[in-house]
């Protein structure tokens, strides 16, 4: 799924992947920022809990957004591909300021939403200015190339990651979540070895990348973001490696950014604040 074409004289909305386990009670900084960008208390937010197998996930986020002052927050229960053609739900997204994708299993998102009217609409609306946030599985699903699964470990290897088509809001990033907590450096490096044109974003828990319309990333939250830039990759042994073999990558650049840190994908420049 490719990103929707830019609309003349219109800025794309923010793309906001969250590493999972975001703070929801004491200091919900990430969710507060999302609400602010969407327009504050008058914002209209659609909640898509498709990734989760828990019945109360959507309602819990609906209650949370209402607690944060949002009057118009609605769960959009896309449980089947037929649901993704539901005119009432599509109309709600068409009039929304933001969409929030919950955590769970990203393959539930890709197999249920992929290629449907709702996926197409979210891409068009993001291109027209609607903001899209997703946590954990919802974050992984955002780009064109999605990490569908894999294994722990720091060293890349051919069978360390499974890729699948994602939502397609951007083709400039590949996103992984729960990054430091689940030792996922190796699988993100593996994904980039297969797709060295993209930038890798490894999101710690309770940490978000607020990617603005010009593709500048800002870090918000209590953890860090690992940015992997393969622009200057000069050698990869991926084409020679067998299953289980370690892979050599030379020339990859890595940044660790914390709250306030920024990365510009056009210039490939990182800054501490």
Which are the catalytic amino acids?
136, 178, 205
For residue 78, what are the contacts with CB-CB under 8 A and spacing of at least 6? Answer: 48, 50, 84, 86, 89, 112, 113, 118
Assigned token pair, 257: 């950014």
Beta bridge mates, 255: 227
For residue 31, what are the contacts with CB-CB under 8 A and spacing of at least 6? Answer: 22, 24, 64, 65, 68
Radius of gyration of the chain (CA): 18
The Cα–Cα gap between 170 and 18 comes to: 15
Q: DSSP 3-state assignment of 125?
A: helix
Assigned token pair, 172: 């400039």
Q: DSSP 3-state assignment of 134?
A: strand
The Cα–Cα gap between 246 and 225 comes to: 24
């Amino acid at each position: 799924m490719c990103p929707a074409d830019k609309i003349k004289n219109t800025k794309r909305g923010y793309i906001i992947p969250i590493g999972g386990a975001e703070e929801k009670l004491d200091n919900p900084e990430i969710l507060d920022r999302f609400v602010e960008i969407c327009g504050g208390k008058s914002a209209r937010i659609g909640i898509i809990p498709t990734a989760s197998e828990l019945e109360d996930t959507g309602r819990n986020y609906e209650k949370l957004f209402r607690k944060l002052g949002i009057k118009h927050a609605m769960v959009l229960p896309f449980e089947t591909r037929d649901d993704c053609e539901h005119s009432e739900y599509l109309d709600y997204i068409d009039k929304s300021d933001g969409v929030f994708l919950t955590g769970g299993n990203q393959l539930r998102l890709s197999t249920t939403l992929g290629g449907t009217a709702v996926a197409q609409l979210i891409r068009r609306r993001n291109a027209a200015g609607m903001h899209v946030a997703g946590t954990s599985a919802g974050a992984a699903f955002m780009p064109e190339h999605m990490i569908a699964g894999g294994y722990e470990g720091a060293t890349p290897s051919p069978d360390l990651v499974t890729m699948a088509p994602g939502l397609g809001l951007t083709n400039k990033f590949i996103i992984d979540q729960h990054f430091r907590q689940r030792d996922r450096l190796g699988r993100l490096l593996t994904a980039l070895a297969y797709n060295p044109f993209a930038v890798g974003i490894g999101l710690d828990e309770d940490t978000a990348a607020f990617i603005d319309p010009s593709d500048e990333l800002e870090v918000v939250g209590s953890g860090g973001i690992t940015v992997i830039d393969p622009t200057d990759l000069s050698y990869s042994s991926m084409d020679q490696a067998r299953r289980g073999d370690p892979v050599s990558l030379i020339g990859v650049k890595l940044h660790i950014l914390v709250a306030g840190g920024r990365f510009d994908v056009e210039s490939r420049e990182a800054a501490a604040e």
